[in-house]
Amino acid sequence: MTRTILVTGGCGFIGANFVRLIRESRPDWRVINVDKLTYAGNLNNLVGINEGERYRFVREDICDTQAMRRLFSEEPIDTVAHFAAESHVDRSIAGPDAFIQTNIFGTFSLLEAAKNAWLDKPGPGNAPCFLHVSTDEVYGSLGTSGYFTETTAYSPRSPYSASKASSDHLVSAYFHTYGLPARITNCSNNYGPYQFPEKLIPLIFNNALHGKPLPVYGDGQNVRDWLYVEDHCRAILLVIEQGENGERYNIGGHNEKTNVEVVTTVCDLLDVKRGLLPGRRRRRELITFVRDRLGHDRRYAIDPTKIRERLGWRPQLDFAGGIEATIDWYLANTAWVNKVADGSYQKYYAEMYGRAIA
């Protein structure tokens, strides 16, 4: 095995896509997937990947420092891809505790385990690498113009983004103070296969498919910069293999869309692929403007010049191609959607917005 990579949160949306990418493209890597299996983690996301020389699944909480240290002593881990997090802004508004615990303390716990294994005693044979997966939301909210670059000052505005910003600062501190070989990526909004149906695109898909109301917060003019998940995973792999320690890399594909544009695109694709609703109604008629998210960031937009120029990364899919691939995947995998949507997010929305959405 040329690398032994610890993937945290490998049963979540992006982590599962990343594990699949490694399996397909790096046959001589061993993957250790550590996941607590929260509501967002699902073993169904990795069906077909079996335990063996190339793969081991460990159900643990990253906040358990002793368990993380034990993993580093059991396995010759030389690479970490740290995805595990609480990731949904609305949940962080309703209940920030788990975000503080997992995103901040969990990252600290992993950093300690990696430092102990790599710096406090003779390290692994390979030059080690700790890749921390972060978000563009740490930079705050943009007006109608401008982009986030790697030097934009952090200005997180939700409990989620504040907890991610804290974890990013801890990673930087471990690089500067102890020399831990760490890198950070800050990516824009992802979409694609295996995304839990509480996030905008799979939630709208699921409701639109079944002719249910499509909740759009506020005026629907908030802008997100959408990236197909496989393009994000390829960027992370590139940063692991060719990036530099102590550096951060913004990842995004210049696909800015308002929420209303995203929702109508999903509706129109479904109308074409599944036919109109009874009464020849178009699905976009289901759009229901609802109370705005508290502190709702207006616009995110990434300037990806650094990763493009230094590492040669380019996204393979634009939004038109990515969203069609995504809708096709969800249509072919409605059983997956039904299985993971166990009702917890519906209950959450009912509490938060005083209404049921599904």
Which positions are catalytic? 136-137, 160
- Dist. CA 106–CA 62, nearest whole Å: 5
- Which residue from 36, 91, 132, 224 is in contact with ligand TYD, where contact means CB under 6 A? 224
Cα-Cα-Cα-Cα dihedral of 136, 140, 142, 147, to 10°? -40
Determine which helix (DSSP H) or strand (DSSP E) holds 23, and give its type and residue range: helix 13-25
Buried b (16+ CB within 10 A) or exposed e, 185-218: bbbbbbbbbbbbbbbbbbbbbbbbbeebebbbbe
- Per-residue binder mask for ligand NAD (CB under 6 A), 186-205, x = binder: -x-xx-----x---------
Among 9, 10, 41, 215, binds ligand TYD (CB under 6 A): 215
* Ranges assigned E (strand) in the chain: 3-8, 29-34, 55-58, 79-82, 129-135, 182-187, 190-191, 214-217, 223-225, 227-228, 248-251, 256-258, 287-290
Q: Total binding residues for ligand TYD by CB under 6 A?
A: 12
Binding residues for ligand NAD, rule CB under 6 A, total 30
Please, which residue, 40 or 270, has the CB nearer to ligand NAD? 40
Q: Which stretch binds ligand NAD (CB under 6 A): 119-127, 182-190, 240-248, 283-291?
A: 182-190
d(CA 235, CA 250): 10
Asked if 259 is part of the footprint of ligand TYD (rule: CB under 6 A), the reply reads yes
Question: Of 153-172, which residues contact ligand NAD (CB under 6 A)?
Answer: 164
Beta carbon of residue 296, minimum distance to ligand NAD (angstroms, whole number): 16
Q: Does 12 bind ligand TYD (CB under 6 A)?
A: no
Told to check if 45 binds ligand TYD by CB under 6 A, we report no
Please report, as residue ranges, which positions from 57 to 96 form the binding site for ligand TYD (by CB under 6 A).
89
Contacts of ligand NAD in 130-149 (CB under 6 A): 133, 135
Q: Which helix (H) or strand (E) holds 349?
A: helix 344-353
Task: Write out the two tokens for 293.
Answer: 């998210």
85 binds ligand NAD (CB under 6 A): yes
Q: Between 31 and 203, name the residue whose CB sits nearer to ligand TYD.
A: 203
Q: Which amino acid is at 289?
A: F
Q: Are 93 and 294 in contact (CB under 8 A)?
A: yes
- 189 is an interface residue for ligand TYD by CB under 6 A: yes
β-pairing verdict for 287-290 and 214-217: parallel
Point out which residues bind ligand TYD (CB under 6 A): 89, 189, 199-200, 203, 215-217, 222, 224, 259, 293
Point out which residues bind ligand NAD (CB under 6 A): 8-9, 11-15, 35-38, 40-41, 61-63, 83-87, 102, 106, 133, 135, 164, 187, 189-190, 196
